[in-house]
């Protein structure tokens, strides 16, 4: 009898599927070279700012040392920037790790986790990994005037059960790009019991310019069960270093510390993130570029008959109204990588990151 370790996997892991990272980009880079337009991973085409790059170069000489396991300097910088106590901050290997940790620490087979249909892909993975029951709340309809395919907060609040431990929200949401305003979040928080964690992932917070959307942090003092996660992977341009953070009640942070891996954020990431946080000029440049390029690309797509949903992120979700796989293959053969959304249950859509002007122009040239 041949050995098959899949038969030995625990119940929670047995039902999981491995994360799909999309196309093999190293192979595509060798094939297309500099002509490849990488518009599938929501990266920042401007990259890290000069202060972050300088900090990384300086930190290289200390690569033989273990990093600060507490990340004290970065926590202090974040605390000062956000106006919170450092004891409320947990650092992670990207916000992905923190979202997973929350489920692993606070839910199990006796509990449910509530999240929206078409929400961030990590939410159902976190629920499954913890062995919890996922309660998936139907999204708003495509015809919704403000948030097509977005979170239905009233339905999410109504879906909370006695066994619910976590409600996951993404604002703005990936992959739809849609968002809900602060008033809607306040109404949801008023309805959710205090023994249920409300986790708001704000990975795209720095790109937001909608007047009705600030940050969930404004409600943290009144709602100690509120948790906010963010990342340096997007607007700060540090996706390759994997560093994110969570702001929550000190008791939530203390529980996560019991399971958080030692040295989970590497030394280069700690140095670069701290420097990036202090580079307001670069962040402003990134925000302005993204805002202008996103609306330019939206208009150019519309002129060619392609409809993009409203977005407060660095990507556009294009709804074709038909199977998007043929168009995705057509673009790929011409060296343009976009992200098909069939895995999210949206096979009629493509998610297109805002790239450089040259990358965006190559996308437009490749469209049929």
The Cα 262–Cα 169 span in angstroms is 27
Question: Residue 14 — pLDDT band, cuts 50, 70, 90?
Answer: confident
What the chain holds in terms of domains, given with CATH numbers, is 16-46+281-366 (3.90.1150.10), 50-277 (3.40.640.10)
For 210-235, what is the mean pLDDT?
A: 98
The Cα 217–Cα 182 span in angstroms is 10
For 234-251, what is the mean pLDDT?
A: 98
Question: Residue 70 — pLDDT band, cuts 50, 70, 90?
Answer: very high
32-66 pLDDT, tens digit each: 999 999 999 999 999 999 999 999 999 999 999 99
What pLDDT, on the 0 to 100 scale, is given for residue 1?
Answer: 72
Question: Residue 15 — pLDDT band, cuts 50, 70, 90?
Answer: confident
Strand order from edge to edge, sheet including 349-353? 307-308, 315-319, 349-353, 339-340
Among 256, 280, 325, residue whose Cα is nearest residue 100: 256
- Chain position carrying tokens 């956000």: 82
Q: What is the 3-state secondary structure (H, E, C) of 78-124?
A: HHHHHCCCHHHEEEECHHHHHHHHHHHHHCCCCCEEEEECCCCCHHH
The Cα 319–Cα 119 span in angstroms is 16
317-362 pLDDT, tens digit each: 999 999 999 999 999 999 999 999 999 999 999 999 999 999 999 9
- Which residue did the predictor score with more confidence, 264 or 21? 264
Q: Is the pTM of this model over 0.95?
A: yes
Q: The tokens of 363 are what? A: 């996308």
């Amino acid at each position: 009898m041949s050995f098959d370790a899949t038969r030995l996997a625990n119940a929670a892991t047995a039902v999981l599927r491995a994360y799909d990272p999309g196309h093999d980009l190293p192979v595509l880079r060798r094939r297309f070279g500099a002509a490849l337009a990488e518009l599938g991973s929501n990266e920042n085409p401007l990259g890290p700012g000069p202060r972050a790059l300088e900090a990384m170069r300086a930190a290289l000489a200390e690569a033989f040392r273990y990093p600060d396991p507490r990340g004290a300097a970065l926590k202090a910088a974040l605390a000062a920037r956000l106006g919170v106590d450092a004891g409320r901050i947990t650092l992670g290997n990207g916000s992905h790790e923190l979202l997973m940790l929350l489920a692993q620490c606070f839910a199990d087979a006796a509990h449910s986790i509530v999240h929206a249909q078409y929400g961030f892909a990590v939410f159902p993975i976190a629920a499954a990994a913890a062995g919890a029951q996922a309660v998936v709340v139907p999204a708003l309809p495509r015809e919704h005037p403000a948030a097509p395919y977005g979170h239905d907060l009233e339905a999410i609040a109504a879906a909370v059960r006695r066994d619910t431990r976590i409600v996951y929200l993404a604002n703005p949401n990936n992959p739809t790009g849609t968002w809900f305003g602060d008033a809607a979040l306040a109404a949801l928080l008023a309805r959710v019991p205090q023994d249920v964690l409300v986790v708001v992932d704000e990975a795209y917070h720095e790109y937001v310019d909608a007047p009705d959307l600030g940050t969930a942090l404004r409600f943290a003092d009144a709602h100690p069960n509120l948790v906010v996660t963010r990342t340096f992977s997007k607007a700060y341009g540090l996706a390759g270093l994997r560093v994110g953070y969570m702001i929550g009640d000190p008791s939530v942070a203390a529980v996560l510390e019991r399971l958080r891996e030692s040295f989970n954020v590497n030394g280069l990431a700690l140095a670069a993130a701290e420097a990036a946080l202090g580079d307001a000029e670069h962040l402003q440049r990134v925000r302005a570029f993204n805002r202008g390029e996103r609306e330019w690309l939206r208009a150019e797509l519309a002129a060619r008959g392609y409809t993009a949903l409203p977005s407060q992120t660095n990507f556009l979700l294009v709804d074709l109204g038909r199977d998007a796989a043929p168009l995705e293959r057509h673009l790929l053969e011409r060296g343009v990588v976009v992200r098909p959304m069939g895995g999210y249950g949206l096979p009629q859509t493509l998610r297109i990151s805002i790239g450089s002007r040259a990358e965006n122009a190559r996308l437009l040239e490749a469209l049929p």
